[in-house]
Structure 1
Amino acid sequence: MTTRQQRIAAGGRRLETVAAAVTVLVAGALCAAVPEGGGEKRDAARASGITMVAEGVSRPGAVDAESPEADYPVMPRSAPTRLYLPQIGADIEVFGADAEPDGTPPVPDKDDADRAAWWRGGPSPGEQGPALLIGHLDSKKGAAAFAGVGSLEPGAEVVVERKDGSTVIFAVDSVEQYPKDDFPNERVYGPTENPQLRLITCGGTWTKKDGYDANIVAFASIKG
């Protein structure tokens, strides 16, 4: 039996659990609540239709490619407490939360936009499968916790501190943007062979009536 087969056999039960949990996230997409206020200048910038994903950061092939044969480090379950994004100088507190009543992953309250929510119904960062961290793009005060997620370059480190005192490091594979009405649930939430991370926020065009019309997702894989 190869290393990959052993890993899959050992983690099969966990993958089944993750796959079942994905069915909880039934909504096609999520987005932070429409911010209040913000000033006319900021509202005009949002309404300009500028996308929030930097050029050259989307690499769908890196996400779709089969994981290389490797003995991935898989960690025991432990809640994330802090997230560091060195490329953009972000230091973000993380808290655990359940799915929203409509079935979407948890979103921090609009008055708590400087923190990120971890969906505790799925894997924790370092466990096998995709751990979900969700944060606001902006708020009535300005830039929020995940304001720079759309600019993360392939290979950028994502560092997560966990409640048990351990640290797990991921590397960004791709940053992608999807319309809210065409959100790929299985691609984002579905099971994976190795520990992965999803950073999710809003993107696309903003209007006062409907808020943002898209979601940005940064895909990251654990570093060996």
Structure 2
Amino acid sequence: MTTPTPDDRRPRPPAGGGGPAGPAQPYGHPRPGRAQPGAFPPGRPRPGAVPPGHPRPVPGYPIAAYRQPGYEQPYDDPGDSGRTLRSVLILAAIAGVVTVLVGVFYMAASPEQYGLADERSALPPRAQQNAAAPGQPYFQAPPTAPPPQPTVPAAPAMLPSTPMRLVIPRLGVDAPIKSVGLDKKGAIEVPPVGDPNLVGWYREGPTAGEAGPAIMLGHKDTRSGSAVFSRLDEIRNGDVIEVHRKDGTIAVFTVGGLEQADKSVFPTQRVYGESRAPQLHLITCGGIYDRSSGHYTDNVIAYATMTSTRPA
């Protein structure tokens, strides 16, 4: 007797096929007319089926779009809309950053036009002629013209003596003096920026109280703030400047005028020219601060003449 295989043990339809259950079906398939779990009743469309009269699906669009009542055009894919929105936002952000950078560049190039200039800003001209001529135009003359003089007569010149300290009561200046020479370019050295309250005296010229111009320089400001001559432009004709000398005397100078000159047309003869009277010329920076060069465009020069002396 042969052992039946699994297929031999399956129930077989009656001979001749058919019968109450209808024709034989492949193994595992339901017979027609019997509802199976998950099957849909007749007349109800299966999920994803296209109703009669609707267009066939278009690749890239969801099938659900074709099952909406009154369908005419497929709906937009939400994924495409999100990608488009993100692209627009990214482009807008990039455009904003570029606009800000361009604006910062222009403001940095011309800070005074945007109200952003720091302490190194425009210095208004305050050149004066002298106190004896009120209402006269500010001091302006060819570079070879002599410096303006105060109304008080000059005092006799003294013997040389190293200047030690500069005092300007009106401006609140009380600063030590350091001797300076010439730099590699042939210009007078400026005092070290590490000490903003320091005045440089040009040691190759006369000392304060000698006949001729004693030249002293000071910074208007430094990167950390104001410096010794930050208010030199506020000096007025008739103001007093004192120089304490090493010999124990104080040379008292009276201001005769103030000048602002472009560095390209610096009045060399007026500042350094010989004179029989003892004079004091104070120099600092002025005008517009040029960020590209790191320097001011002008110089402010105060001219004073010694009018008296006294012991320290």
- Note whether the superposition's TM-score is higher than 0.5: yes
- Sort the TM-score into its range (normalised by shorter chain): 0.7 to 0.9
Amino acid at match of 1:51: L
4+ runs of 1 displaced by more than 3 Å?
Answer: 40-43, 45-48, 52-68
Of stretches 123-132 and 104-113 in structure 1, the one that deviates more from structure 2 is 104-113
Separation (CA, whole Å) in 2 of partners of 1:112 and 1:124: 22
Separation (CA, whole Å) in 1 of partners of 2:154 and 2:119: 44
Separation (CA, whole Å) in 2 of partners of 1:212 and 1:179: 9
Alignment of 1:44 onto 2:128: no
1:136–1:146 Cα contact (<8 Å) kept: yes
The offset of 1:112, in angstroms, is 2.4
Point out where structure 2 has 5 or more consecutive residues left out of the alignment.
1-110, 130-137
Question: Which residue number in structure 2 is paired with residue 220 of structure 1?
Answer: 304
| TM-score in terms of structure 1 length | 0.73
Separation (CA, whole Å) in 2 of partners of 1:185 and 1:109: 23
Alignment of 1:83 onto 2:166: yes
Point out where structure 1 has 5 or more consecutive residues left out of the alignment.
1-39
SS of 1:192's equivalent in the other structure is coil
* Equivalent residue in structure 1 for 2:280, among 194, 197, 201: 197
| TM-score in terms of structure 2 length | 0.54
Q: Show CA shifts across 1:138-188 (max 9, x none).
A: 001211011111110001000000111110000111110111111111111
- From the CA coordinates, give the structure whose radius of gyration is larger: 2
Question: Which residue number in structure 2 is paired with residue 160 of structure 1?
Answer: 243
Q: Show CA shifts across 1:179-221 (max 9, x none).
A: 1111111111101120000000000001211220011110000
The offset of 1:98, in angstroms, is 1.3
Alignment of 1:132 onto 2:215: yes
Separation (CA, whole Å) in 2 of partners of 1:55 and 1:71: 21
Cα 1:103–1:157 change in 2 (3 A) is same
2:259–2:300 Cα contact (<8 Å) kept: yes
The offset of 1:106, in angstroms, is 2.2
Amino acid at match of 1:45: D
Amino acid at match of 1:160: V
The offset of 1:54, in angstroms, is 3.9
Q: Show CA shifts across 1:47-74 (max 9, x none).
A: 65x2254475743589556899x67321
